[in-house]
């Protein structure tokens, strides 16, 4: 059985989007190295359509170790509207999300990394298909967004086990949480 890990940035007030308002002041060599470690530990990436569109518009034209790794890795995008992905090594998971991801996860030893914590990640956590959550908690109150852009979702209740912490010099605390039900 493979594993699915989600790595997402979050502000102190639970915001996971509008990163232009609160995230980029905390990007440095240390955070870049940790992000590269996570990416290199994965065999594939999984993302929702919005994250895919942002990444497909940004990463193919970049150079460097991280760009090389993210452009080369196999990518799966969960979407009912995307049919022709343009980013190299991308496959579309259409149809039932939970069944498609169960099939991916059933591949022995496959380690899948997700970026972004939107509807796809929340659905996978609810269905116990998300094994691990890496939260990069930023020491910043974002003060923006709406309920759809928050880490929490009414009705999503899940007890997670803290398995690691790492405090970066920027003040970001990287929490690693395991889903014991996955």
Instruction: Kindly report the three-state secondary structure assignment for every residue of 23-78.
Output: CHHHCCHHHHHHHHHHHHCCCEEEEEHHHHHHHHHHHHHCCCHHHHHHHHCEEEEE
**Could you tell me what percent of the chain has a pLDDT over 90?**
88
Determine how many CB atoms are found less than 10 A away from the CB of residue 91.
Answer: 12
Tokens of 123: 């659905």
- pLDDT tens per residue across span 163-177: 999 999 999 999 999
- Residues 46-104: tens digit of each pLDDT: 999 999 999 999 999 999 999 999 999 999 999 999 989 999 999 999 889 999 999 99
In 3D, which of 101, 135, 139 has the Cα closest to residue 117?
135
Whole-angstrom distance, CA of residue 47 vs CA of residue 62 = 19
| Length of the chain, in residues | 182
Global pTM?
0.94
Cα distances (Å, whole numbers) of residue 94 to 58, 99, 118, 171: 23, 10, 17, 39
């Amino acid at each position: 059985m493979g594993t699915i890990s989600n790595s997402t940035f979050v502000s102190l007030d639970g915001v996971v989007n509008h990163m232009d308002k609160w995230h980029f002041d905390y990007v440095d060599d240390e955070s870049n190295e940790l992000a590269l470690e996570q990416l290199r530990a994965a065999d594939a990436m999984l993302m929702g359509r919005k994250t895919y569109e942002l990444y497909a518009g940004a990463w193919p034209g970049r150079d460097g170790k991280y760009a090389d790794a993210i452009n080369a890795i196999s990518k799966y995008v969960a979407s009912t509207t995307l049919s022709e992905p343009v980013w190299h090594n991308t496959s579309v998971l259409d149809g039932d999300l939970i069944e498609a991801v169960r099939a991916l996860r059933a591949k022995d030893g496959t380690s899948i990394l997700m970026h972004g914590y939107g509807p796809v990640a929340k659905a996978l956590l609810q269905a116990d298909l998300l094994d691990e959550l890496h939260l990069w908690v930023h020491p910043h109150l974002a003060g923006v967004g709406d309920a759809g852009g928050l880490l929490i979702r009414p009705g999503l209740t899940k007890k997670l086990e803290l398995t690691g912490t790492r405090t970066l010099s920027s003040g970001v605390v990287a929490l690693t949480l395991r889903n014991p039900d996955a």
